[in-house]
Amino acid sequence: MPYLLILILLVCTNFKTFAASLSNMSNAEAIEMLKVCNNDIRNHCDAVEPGNNRVIFCLTKRLGQLETPCQKLVEDFMSKWENTAE
């Protein structure tokens, strides 16, 4: 099965589960987060109930344990979120 098709299926499957936790993001940002952080979400936050940004908070608590691309994306999101909260 082509890599892109697998990725699309993975994103679609996980998007419904994690979308509520990514509510402060645009759809494009949420999809990017799922693509980049999918392994980290599964490894560190799989048992987290989606909603109210719980998955994002889970990732931020484990920032030092995340793969580098996911860590950077979470840091960028945190910075953006802090700037909009001011």
* pLDDT higher than threshold 50 for residue 71: yes
| Joined tokens for residue 14 | 């996980």
Return the domain boundaries, the chain.
Answer: 10-85
pTM: 0.67
Section 50-61 average pLDDT? 85
| Helix segments in the chain, DSSP class H | 3-18, 27-44, 54-61, 68-85
Distance CA 67, CA 77 (A): 15
Distance CA 36, CA 44 (A): 14
Residue with tokens 């995340």: 66
pLDDT, tens digit (0-9, with 9 covering 90-100), for 7-44: 444 444 444 444 444 556 677 877 888 889 999 999 99
pLDDT value of residue 86: 53
